[in-house]
Amino acid sequence: MELLKKYITMFRADMREVMSRRCGLDELNSFIMLVAFVFVLIALFTQKGIYILLGDVFGIICYIRIFSKKLDKRSRENALYMRYMGNVVAIARRVKLVVKMKIKSIQDKEYAYFVCPTCGQVVRVPKGKNKVNIRCPKCSMTFIKRT
């Protein structure tokens, strides 16, 4: 068992060292992977070979970008993507955070969780207080929510 832990630790160190000189997963890669997944899902329901081929092509492009050693070129591509799609990415992240906090509020019996509309800070408030004036601890913005 000790030998297995040693080999796993060595493998992790080797992978960390290999991936330190690679592009990795950025916003553009995440989008390309999502497009590939959508094409594969479409192929699953329509039984058309062209969609699986398109999904494979986008998946291969994504993995080529992930393991690429041309960091400057990949970062310029990602910067171009973020210039045009940055607002959409930011809105998607915000919606994801709000949904996550709604789920957490449902699961937690004592506290409700809200996201500050200005800075995105998560604020925890006791439940059962009806309408509450909430002040964000990060940016001092106040907003009214029902707990």
Q: Are 112 and 105 in contact (CB under 8 A)?
A: yes
Q: Could you identify the residue written with the tokens 């940016």?
A: 139
Q: For the chain, what are the domain ranges?
A: 2-92, 108-147
- Where do runs of H (alpha helix) occur along the chain? 2-19, 27-46, 49-66, 71-107
pLDDT digits (tens, 9 = 90+) for 48-69: 889 999 999 999 999 999 888 8
Mean pLDDT value across residues 122-147? 86
pLDDT digits (tens, 9 = 90+) for 94-104: 888 888 888 88
For residue 19, what pLDDT is reported?
78
Q: What's the whole-model pTM score?
A: 0.62
Any residues with CB less than 8 A from the CB of 92 and at least 6 apart, and which?
none
For residue 88, what pLDDT is reported?
85
CA-based radius of gyration for the chain: 22
Any residues with CB less than 8 A from the CB of 32 and at least 6 apart, and which?
58, 61, 62, 65
Mean pLDDT over the full length of the chain: 88
As a whole-number percent, the residues of the chain with pLDDT over 70 amount to: 100
> Which tokens sit at 14?
């080797």
CA 90 distance to own-chain centroid: 10
Q: Are 126 and 145 in contact (CB under 8 A)?
A: no
